[in-house]
Amino acid sequence: MSSESPSWLQTGRGRPPRERWSYTTEAPLTGLKHSRESGQTVVADQSGGVYRIDRNGKLASVTRGFIALNHIASDDLGRRAALVDEQRRLSFFDEKLRVVWSLELPDAVTALDVEPHGRYVAVALANGKNVVYDANHQRVFHFETPRPLRHVRFRPLRPALVVAAEYGLLCEFNFSGECLWTARLPINVGDITSTGDGERTSVAAFSQGVRHVNGSGEPDGTYLLEGTPNRLSTSIAPFRLAVTTLEGHLYWLDEAGDLVWGAGLPEDVFAIHTEPLGNGLICGFQSGRIMSLAWN
């Protein structure tokens, strides 16, 4: 726990946050996912460690011995997590980070997500095949895309996935493997994030700013920022959007896209996750340092 906020938080524009807590892993990060309802954060690092950090920044559990972890995801309840290693092994965990089951995958994984209630896990493969398993590792459905997916997100309130591939392809698939809509963007997608009701998906469109689409895939506005957006995370309500840029800045925006706070980052960011009520942000740096930032 930090006694005072780092100086970089105070040197930006707008209303700065305070540092609520920080934690540093043993090695650089390879995965980070925040559970919205439990407030826990699941983290993987290059040493093969998987950590569960509680909402107060304390280490709740840890497991070690994995090799070259490269994808991690968890549910919103803090009960289920999934990870993939370099050997194409998918492992599914309980709340104590004990392996419930694991299986070998036929190709490298390009994207991974766990359904908000922990009932399903989605895996996108480098050969363009994509599979959804249930919590008992039974295959629920599969579908193929012309290009490998780079981002996979479960819809919060309905059985569907919002997915993105290279060359600006953004679409939604239901649990029958049917494509419900397709939105073709003029540029590649750096990251995607959705509101709690799933009715707005925001896309980091690099030089095109932050693009929004509604629940039917129709355009829903654009935020233009100083810099090139590459990572995004949105709250459930009230609306807050965290954005990092390739130039090394972090922005905290309101629903209209106006700046609440912005600052230069002290080091490279690995991942960001906005807390559900829009009053805080989990920021994981490449080095292994994780910070919880809060606005009163």
Q: What are phi and psi of 207, to 5 degrees?
A: -65, -15
Convert the pLDDT of each residue in 50-106 to its tens digit: 999 999 999 999 999 898 898 999 999 999 999 999 889 999 999 999 999 999 999
CA distance 120 to 140: 8
The answer, yes or no, to whether residue 282 has pLDDT greater than 50, is: yes
CA distance 150 to 114: 15
- The correct answer on CATH 2.130.10.10 for the domain covering 7-294 is yes
CA distance 182 to 201: 13
pTM for this prediction: 0.93
Which tokens go with 73? 């995801």
**What number is the average pLDDT over the span 33-48?**
94
Q: Are residues 14 and 53 in contact, defined by beta-carbon separation less than 8 angstroms?
A: no
Domain ranges of the chain: 7-294
Convert the pLDDT of each residue in 186-204 to its tens digit: 788 999 999 888 889 999 9
Convert the pLDDT of each residue in 136-170 to its tens digit: 999 999 999 999 999 999 998 889 999 999 888 89
Which residue type does 222 have? T
